[in-house]
Amino acid sequence: MSWEDTATMMQKHREETYAAVEPAIPEPPKELPLNVTGVPKQLLSENVISITESPPQTLIESLASGKLTSTDVIKAFLQRAGLAGKLVNCITELLPQRAMERAKYLDEYLAENKKPIGPLHGVPISVKEHVGMKGLDLNAGFVSWVGRVAPDDATLLKLLWKAGCIFYARTTEPQALMHLETSNNIYGVTVNPYNTKLTSGGSSGGEGALLGLKGSCMGIGTDIGGSIRSPAANNGLYGLRPTAFRLPTAGWSATMMGAEHIIPVIGPLSTSLEGVKVFMKSVIDQQPWLYEPSLVQLPWKDSSKETLLRKGYDGRRKLCVGVLADDGVVKPHPPILRGINTLIEKMKSNPDIEVVEFPPYKHDEAWRIISPLYFADGAAEEKAAIEASGEPFRPLTNFIIKETKAKELTIPELWQLTKDREDYKAEYSQHWNSVNTTLPGPDSEELVSIEAVDARDKMVDVVLTPTGPGCAPPLECAKYWGYTSQWNLLDYPCMIFPTGLYAGEEDKVEEGYTPRNERDNYNYELYKPETFIDAPISLQLVGRRWEDEKVIEALEFMMEAAKMESS
C-alpha cells in the first residue's frame, strides 16, 4: 500500500466517524470567510451553541446538579467538534459510540447515587492523537506508524476517566511532532479558525483549533518546545506547560522515547483559566506519583484557601511582574508589543502590582544548547519513520531537521551540552534573583544569602513575555522557537492567556528597522498588517520551577487588576 493509499484509508475512517454522529453534523457552505469562528452559530441549534459555549466551570456545575445531562452535553460537543473538523481540519477521528456509552453510564450513576462520579463528571475532553487510547491507532503523525494500536489508555487518561470525564474526539498533530504548526501527510494541514491563512500552531494544533472553535472546552496537549503554548496562543486560549514530572506521561507515542536531555511534558488547554485549574487539580489530587514513581510527590496547592503570592504589611497580596517584551534575538511584531503595553498600562494603576523590566539573559545561548539536544541522534528515528513509507518530508520537518543541520552527538558532546544546560539554568536563576533586588547577577562570583539581604519581597514573582515573535504566523513560516523553547530548557512553568485583543491594520510596520540577525530579518519581513487580521493577541506568563500554581494565581490577580475576562 502506498503512503497515499494509507492516508486515503485514514481519511475515510474519519468521515465514517463523522457520519455516525447524531444529530448529523451540518455541512459548511462552500464559500467561507477567512474568520470561520462565527460559522457554528449559523449552522447549529441554540441549545448546542449554549452548551458548547459554556465555560468548563459552568458545565461542571450544571452536570453535577443534573441541570444538564452528560448525554445532552456530549451530543452537542460531538456535533460541534465534527463541524470544527470540516472547517479547519483539526480532527483525526470522533468517538461517538464510546462517548455516548460513557454518557449513559454517568447519567445513570448520577440518578442512582444523587452525586457526581468525580470533579469532572460528564465533562468532554479532547485528546491529541499521540496520547494513547486503548485499541485505537497511535501513528504520531507518521504514515508508516499507521496501524500501531495502543495496548492501553495512557496513565493521564485513566486518571481523568476516574475523575468522571468523557473522551469523544482525537485531534491532529504534525509529522515528527516537532513543528510549531500542524501538518502531516495523513490528514493534511490544520488551519487557524480566526484566519484560515494562518497556522493553528503546533504540535498540539488540532487541540488549539478545536478549542478555538469551541468544539471542545478542555483538551490535552504535549510540549517539548512550545507545543501546548503555540496552539493556545494562536487560538486565543488558556494553556499550561507544567513543570516536568508533575503530570504522568506514560502511554504516549513519539520518537526519541526515553531521551532525558529535554523532558517533554503533557498538559491542558482550555477555553477558561478555571478549566486549566480543575484539570490539574483533578489529576494531582489522585497522587499520580503512585503510578509513575518518576513524578514528584507535590500535592496541588489550592490558592483559594491561602494565597501563594507574598503578603504586604497590611496582609494584602503583592505581585511583582517582570516584563520581558523582547528576547534580544528576534523582535516581536507590533500586535504583540501592543498587547504587552496595553496590559502593563492597566496593571500599573493597581497599588498591589509592581511592574519592572526583566532583561533577557543570553537567550541566543539557550537556543545553541537546546537545538542539538532535540535531535541527539541526528534525527535518525524521525528520518527512518518518514522514509519507511516513502512519504515526503513536510516543509517544517525539513526546516527543523535538515536546515538546522541536526547532528548525531558523540557521548562527550552530549555530556558537554548537558553540562552547558545545567550551567545555564544556574546562571538564569541567579539572573532572576538579581532583577529588582540588590542580589548579584550571574556575572558575579559572590554568593549572598537571599534571606540575609531581605530580597524576597522585591524579587520578581512571574515574567510576562510573548509566546512567539508574532501572532499566529502564515503556514510553513513558524521558524522561531525561542520564546517558548527557552522555558523548556529551564523547565519553568508557563501559562498562556488571551488578552482579548486582535491584530488589525492599526498595527503598522516599524519603518526603518535594522534587523539584528538573519532570524530577526525573516520575522521582520514576514510582518504585513493585512496578513494577520483577526489573529488573537495572546501572552505568556512564566514562573520559577515547581511554581505552577503560583503562575495561575498571579494570572488571576493580573486579570482582575486589568479587568480582563477569564473565559
Q: Which residues are catalytic?
A: 128, 203, 227
Strand-pair partners of 223: 265
Cell of residue 542, nine digits: 512564566
Long-range CB contact pairs, 12-17, < 8 A, 24+ = 13/93, 14/85, 14/91, 14/92, 14/93, 14/94, 14/187, 17/93, 17/94, 17/95, 17/96
Residues 6+ apart with CB under 8 A from 480: 330, 468, 469, 519, 522, 523
Compute the distance between CA of residue 556 and CA of residue 550 in angstroms, rounded to an integer.
Answer: 10
Strand-pair partners of 501: 537
Backbone torsions φ then ψ of 556, nearest 5 degrees: -55, -45
Residues 6+ apart with CB under 8 A from 346: 561, 562, 563, 564
Q: Are 204 and 269 in contact (CB under 8 A)?
A: yes
Compute the distance between CA of residue 227 and CA of residue 231 in angstroms, rounded to an integer.
Answer: 7
Cell of residue 319, nine digits: 505581585
- Shortest CA distance to 527 belongs to which of 515, 540, 545? 515
Q: Which H helix or E strand runs over 227?
A: none
Strand-pair partners of 464: 323, 541
Pairing relationship of beta strands 124-128 and 166-171 according to DSSP bridges: parallel
Secondary structure (3-state) at 567: coil
HSE, side-chain direction, 13 A CA sphere, residue 252: 27
Cell of residue 163, nine digits: 475523575
Compute the distance between CA of residue 341 and CA of residue 496 in angstroms, rounded to an integer.
Answer: 17
Q: Are 189 and 205 in contact (CB under 8 A)?
A: no
- Shortest CA distance to 96 belongs to which of 67, 66, 121, 76? 76
Work out whether the CA dihedral 151, 155, 161, 166 comes out positive or negative.
Answer: negative
Q: Are 421 and 491 in contact (CB under 8 A)?
A: no
Pairing relationship of beta strands 166-171 and 91-94 according to DSSP bridges: antiparallel
Pairing relationship of beta strands 494-502 and 238-241 according to DSSP bridges: antiparallel
Compute the distance between CA of residue 532 and CA of residue 538 in angstroms, rounded to an integer.
Answer: 13
Cell of residue 147, nine digits: 496501524
Q: Are 89 and 172 in contact (CB under 8 A)?
A: yes
Q: Which residue has the cell 519507511?
A: 388
Residues 6+ apart with CB under 8 A from 463: 321, 322, 323, 324, 358, 432, 541, 542, 543
- Shortest CA distance to 29 belongs to which of 37, 20, 39? 39
